[in-house]
């Protein structure tokens, strides 16, 4: 059974503006346990938007719900790149977050901090070092809490977030790459509001789907993401939940960030009258993504040798899933992450190679949307290669 009402405001939804009958369920590095547990590895994907609040949302079937429960409850599931993983990219993510925090909140040091979906709690440790007195995290997985230099560990509550789990109040709460996974996002924000002191603030980080729609981001659609936010839809949702948005960060190379303040409940925000602009964005997305597929086909067709696809992520899985006419014998897959090299990832039928093997291709297409500039700089300046490097976005 599909959700036919908006999961944020219960407004009836229209028809799909995007639909694929088959889409590989991306879960990262392949393993036999998950491969056998996921009975339907290519469930359909469909997107609709709410004409009232503007929230774009994924069709959720009973079959998809079962898959998500299977993956989220499996001990074989591994998180993607995140904070506290002792890698250069993980450290970069942490530095990027605090640059964003300072842009939004200046030099404010909250006394009591809550992070929802904190993984090991590495960011909470950094808040402690900056002067916060109370730092608590909530994380449903059984990942081990981050260890301080003295051997003690960050206070991480292993559970799904409810006010009862933390049993405290805070002047700052944040969640990163969480809200897009939540079935009832307004209720979730309401619970965040319940644990805040008067005048408390929240910081939300979600994928920036407004820019993804404009650019035709092939990796935007993923089964685990139930909600797809623009600035307007996120602001509307926060207003519904009793928050006043203060500042946004809205760029291609970062998540969509918003800092908002708890305020007194007021009249429900009026509809944002987004249907015309969202319809235009939806049409632009479908056309722009088709252009990307045509571009990839043309590079593969005219290349005399092999073509490299760089960046093994969900976008690459979508390319193989939706471009059924692509000649896999002419392709190689690459990634700069040593943990991925030599392995197979869900939806990607080819082994992942290290950048050192780029000498075997004539052309390279950079796949990840947010990392276009960084990867192109790496391939053309830091470690220049002889192959022609092509920007997908």
> How would residue 231 be classed by pLDDT, with cut points 50, 70 and 90?
very high
Query: Quick one: pLDDT at residue 264?
Result: 80
Higher pLDDT, 76 or 117: 117
Query: Quick one: pLDDT at residue 247?
Result: 97
Structure tokens, 201: 């603030």
Average pLDDT (131-141) is: 96
Contact call for residues 215 and 276 (beta carbons, < 8 A): no
> How would residue 315 be classed by pLDDT, with cut points 50, 70 and 90?
very high
Contact call for residues 322 and 26 (beta carbons, < 8 A): no
**Residue 314 reports pLDDT greater than 70:** yes
| CATH fold of 88-268 | Rossmann fold (3.40.50)
> How would residue 171 be classed by pLDDT, with cut points 50, 70 and 90?
very high
DSSP-H helix ranges across the chain: 32-37, 62-73, 88-105, 122-130, 163-166, 185-194, 209-215, 231-240, 275-302, 314-322, 372-377
Q: What strand order describes the sheet that includes 256-262? A: 155-157, 134-138, 112-116, 170-176, 196-206, 256-262, 243-249
Percent of the chain with pLDDT over 90: 80
276-391 maps to CATH 3.40.50.410: no
Handedness of CA 367, 373, 374, 379 (dihedral sign): positive
pLDDT digits (tens, 9 = 90+) for 238-265: 999 999 999 999 998 899 999 999 998 6
Average pLDDT (362-376) is: 96
Structure tokens, 140: 């449903």
Handedness of CA 39, 158, 208, 311 (dihedral sign): negative
Ranges of each domain in the chain: 18-73, 88-268, 276-391
Distance between terminal CA atoms of the chain?
36
CA distance 9 to 366: 38
Q: What is the DSSP annotation of 36-91? A: HH-S-SS--EEEEE-TTT--EEE---HHHHHHHHHHHH-TT----S-TTSSSHHHH
> How would residue 274 be classed by pLDDT, with cut points 50, 70 and 90?
low
**What letter would DSSP give residue 382?**
I
**Residue 3 reports pLDDT greater than 60:** no
Domains 88-268 and 276-391 share a fold: yes
């Amino acid at each position: 059974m599909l959700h036919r009402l908006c999961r944020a405001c219960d407004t009836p939804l229209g028809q799909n503006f995007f639909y694929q009958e088959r889409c590989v369920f991306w879960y990262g590095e392949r393993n036999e346990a998950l491969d056998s547990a996921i009975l339907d590895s290519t469930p359909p994907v469909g997107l609709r938007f709410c004409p009232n609040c503007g929230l774009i949302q994924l069709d959720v079937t009973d079959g998809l719900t079962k898959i998500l429960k299977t993956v989220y409850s499996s001990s074989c599931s591994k998180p993607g790149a995140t904070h506290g993983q002792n890698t250069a990219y993980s450290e970069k993510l942490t530095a990027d977050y605090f640059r964003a925090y300072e842009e939004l909140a200046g030099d404010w040091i909250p006394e009591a901090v809550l992070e929802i979906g904190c993984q090991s709690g590495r960011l909470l440790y950094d808040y402690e070092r900056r002067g916060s007195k109370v730092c608590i995290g909530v994380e449903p997985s059984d990942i081990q809490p981050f260890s301080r230099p003295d051997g003690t560990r960050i206070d991480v509550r292993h559970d799904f977030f409810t006010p009862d789990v933390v049993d405290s109040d805070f002047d700052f709460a944040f969640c990163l790459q969480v809200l897009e996974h939540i079935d009832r996002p307004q209720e979730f924000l309401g619970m965040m509001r319940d644990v805040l002191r008067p005048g408390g603030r929240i910081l939300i980080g979600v994928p920036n789907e407004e820019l993804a729609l404009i650019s035709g981001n092939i990796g935007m659609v993923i089964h685990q993401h139930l909600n797809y936010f623009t600035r307007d839809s996120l602001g509307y949702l926060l207003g519904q939940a009793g928050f006043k948005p203060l500042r946004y960060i809205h760029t291609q190379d970062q998540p969509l960030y918003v800092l908002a303040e708890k305020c007194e409940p007021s009249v429900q925000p009026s509809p944002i009258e987004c249907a015309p602009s969202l319809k235009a964005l939806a049409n632009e997305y479908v056309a722009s993504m088709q252009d990307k597929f045509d571009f990839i086909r043309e590079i593969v067709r005219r290349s005399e040798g092999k073509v490299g696809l760089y960046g093994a992520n969900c976008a690459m899985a979508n390319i193989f899933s939706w471009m059924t006419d692509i000649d896999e014998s002419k392709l190689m897959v690459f990634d700069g992450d040593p943990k991925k090299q030599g392995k197979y990832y869900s939806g990607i039928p080819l082994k992942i190679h290290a950048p050192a093997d780029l000498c075997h291709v004539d052309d390279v297409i950079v796949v990840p949307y947010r990392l276009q500039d960084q990867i192109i700089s790496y391939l053309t300046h830091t470690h220049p290669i002889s192959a022609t490097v092509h920007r997908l976005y």
